[in-house]
A and B are shown apart, each in its own frame.
Chain A
Amino acid sequence: MAEMVANRITDIGPPKYDEMWPEIIKNNYGKWLHHEILEPGVLVHVAESGDKLYTVRCGATRLMTTHMVEDYCKIADEFCGGYFRFTTRNNVEFMVTSTEKLEGLKKALAAAGNMPIGGTGHSVTNIVHTQGWVHCHTPAIDASGPVKSVMDALFDYFTSMKLPAQVRIALACCLNMCGAVHCSDIAILGVHRKPPVIEHSHLDKMCEIPTTIASCPTAAIKPSKVDDFKSVAVNADRCMYCGNCYTMCPAMPLADADGDGIAIMVGGKVSNSKCMPKFSKLAIPYIPNEPPRWESTVKAITTILEAYVSGAKRYERIGEWIERIGWERFFDVTGFEFTKRHIDDYRFAATTWRTSTQFKW
Chain B
Amino acid sequence: MAIKHPTPMLDELEKGPWPSFVTDIKRAAEAGKEACADLLGQLELSYNDKEGHWKHGGIVGVLGYGGGVIGRYSDVPNLFPGVEHFHTVRVNQPASKFYKTERLREIMDIWNRRGSSMLNMHGSTGDIILLGAFTEQLEPIFAELTQKGWDLGGSGSALRTPECCLGKARCEWACIDTQDICYNLTQEYQDEMHRPAWPYKFKFKISGCPNDCVASIARSDCSIIGTWRDDIRIDQAAVAAYAGGEIPARGGAMGQGVKLDVQKDVVELCPTGCMSYEGGKLAINNRECTRCMHCINLMPKALRPGTDTGATILVGAKAPILEGAQLSSVIIPFIKMEEPYDEFKEFVANTWDWWDENGKNRERIGETIQRLGLQSYLDALGFDPVPQMVKEPRSNPYFFYTEDEVPGGFDRDIEVFRKKHAR
A interface residues with partner B (beta carbon < 8 Å) = 4-5, 8-22, 25, 29-30, 32-39, 45, 53, 55, 59-70, 73, 76-77, 82-88, 90, 95, 114-116, 120-122, 128, 130, 132-137, 139, 142, 144-145, 148-149, 151-152, 155, 158, 161-162, 166, 175-183, 211, 214-215, 217, 242, 244, 246-247, 250, 253, 255-258, 260, 270-277, 279, 289, 291-293, 314-315, 346-347
Task: Report the nearest B residue to A316, measured CB to CB.
Answer: B269
Tell me the minimal C-beta distance from B223 to chain A in angstroms: 10
Q: Which of B105-113, B332-340, B398-406, B412-420 contacts A (4 or more CB under 8 A)?
A: B105-113
Tell me the minimal C-beta distance from B209 to chain A in angstroms: 9
Query: With a CB–CB cut-off of 8 A, which chain B residues contact A12?
Result: 146, 149, 151, 190
Task: Report the nearest B residue to A53, measured CB to CB.
Answer: B170
Q: Is the CB of A88 within 8 A of B213?
A: yes
How far, in whole Å, are A38 and B253 apart by their CA atoms in the complex?
A: 9
Task: Report the nearest A residue to B179, measured CB to CB.
Answer: A17
The verdict on B294 contacting chain A, using a C-beta distance below 8 Å, is: yes
Q: Given the interface contacts A275-B271, A292-B12, does A244 sit within 8 Å of B88 by beta carbon?
A: no
Query: With a CB–CB cut-off of 8 A, which chain A residues contact B343?
Result: none
Tell me the minimal C-beta distance from A274 to chain B in angstroms: 5
Q: Is the CB of A69 within 8 A of B301?
A: no
Q: Is the CB of B98 within 8 A of A289?
A: no
Q: How many A-B residue pairs have CB under 8 A?
A: 376
Set B100, B147, B174, B214: member contacting A19, Cβ < 8 A: B100
Query: With a CB–CB cut-off of 8 A, which chain A residues contact B362?
Result: 211, 214-215
Tell me the minimal C-beta distance from B159 to chain A in angstroms: 12
Main secondary structure of the interface of A (DSSP, over half): loop
Task: Report the nearest B residue to A10, measured CB to CB.
Answer: B64
* B 35-59 to A, binary, CB cutoff 8 A, 1 in contact else 0: 0100100010011111111111100
Q: Is the CB of A148 within 8 A of B20?
A: yes
How far, in whole Å, are A3 and B122 apart by their CA atoms in the complex?
A: 33
Q: Given the interface contacts A12-B146, A14-B186, A86-B97, does A277 sit within 8 Å of B21 by beta carbon?
A: no
Set B165, B248, B319: member contacting A182, Cβ < 8 A: B319
Q: Is the CB of A16 within 8 A of B183?
A: yes
Can you report 18 residue pairs joining A to B where beta carbons are below 8 Å apart? A10-B151, A11-B191, A15-B150, A61-B24, A66-B108, A85-B96, A86-B97, A120-B253, A155-B16, A162-B254, A179-B219, A182-B218, A182-B319, A214-B361, A215-B362, A292-B10, A315-B250, A315-B269
Query: With a CB–CB cut-off of 8 A, which chain A residues contact B275?
Result: none
B side interface size, CB within 8 A: 133
How far, in whole Å, are A66 and B117 apart by their CA atoms in the complex?
A: 5
Tell me the minimal C-beta distance from A162 to chain B in angstroms: 7
Q: Is the CB of A36 within 8 A of B119?
A: no
Set A4, A82, A121, A144: member contacting B254, Cβ < 8 A: A121
Most buried by B among A18, A162, A272: A272
Q: Besides the contacts A61-B20, A161-B255, A315-B294, what 12 more A-B pairs have beta carbons closer than 8 Å? A: A20-B94, A21-B98, A32-B168, A36-B301, A38-B256, A45-B172, A177-B320, A180-B219, A270-B215, A273-B292, A275-B271, A292-B12
The verdict on B324 contacting chain A, using a C-beta distance below 8 Å, is: yes
How far, in whole Å, are A122 and B252 apart by their CA atoms in the complex?
A: 9
Query: With a CB–CB cut-off of 8 A, which chain B residues contact A116?
Result: 17-19
How far, in whole Å, are A278 and B122 apart by their CA atoms in the complex?
A: 25
Tell me the minimal C-beta distance from B342 to chain A in angstroms: 19
How far, in whole Å, are A69 and B247 apart by their CA atoms in the complex?
A: 37
How far, in whole Å, are A277 and B49 apart by their CA atoms in the complex?
A: 38
Q: Is the CB of A121 within 8 A of B151?
A: no
How far, in whole Å, are A45 and B124 apart by their CA atoms in the complex?
A: 27
Q: Is the CB of B211 within 8 A of A152?
A: no
Q: Is the CB of B319 within 8 A of A148?
A: no
Q: Is the CB of A38 within 8 A of B327?
A: no
Set A15, A142, A314, A346: member contacting B149, Cβ < 8 A: A15
Q: Is the CB of B19 within 8 A of A61?
A: yes
How far, in whole Å, are A330 and B25 apart by their CA atoms in the complex?
A: 40
Q: Is the CB of B212 within 8 A of A87?
A: no
Query: With a CB–CB cut-off of 8 A, which chain B residues contact A253?
Result: 56
How far, in whole Å, are A103 and B131 apart by their CA atoms in the complex?
A: 35
Tell me the minimal C-beta distance from A12 to chain B in angstroms: 5
The verdict on B346 contacting chain A, using a C-beta distance below 8 Å, is: no
Set A22, A30, A120: member contacting B177, Cβ < 8 A: A30
Q: Is the CB of B121 within 8 A of A76?
A: no
Q: Is the CB of A155 within 8 A of B46?
A: no
Most buried by B among A12, A65, A68, A315: A65
Q: Is the CB of B64 within 8 A of A8?
A: yes
Q: Is the CB of B256 within 8 A of A39?
A: yes
Task: Report the nearest A residue to B225, measured CB to CB.
Answer: A272
Query: With a CB–CB cut-off of 8 A, which chain A residues contact B43?
Result: 133-134, 142
Q: Is the CB of A82 within 8 A of B183?
A: no
* B 191-227 to A, binary, CB cutoff 8 A, 1 in contact else 0: 1001000000000000000111111011100000000
The verdict on B267 contacting chain A, using a C-beta distance below 8 Å, is: no
Q: Is the CB of B121 within 8 A of A13?
A: no
Tell me the minimal C-beta distance from A8 to chain B in angstroms: 6
Query: With a CB–CB cut-off of 8 A, which chain B residues contact A274?
Result: 269, 271, 292, 294
Tell me the minimal C-beta distance from A53 to chain B in angstroms: 7
Most buried by A among B10, B39, B168, B169: B169
Tell me the minimal C-beta distance from A40 to chain B in angstroms: 8
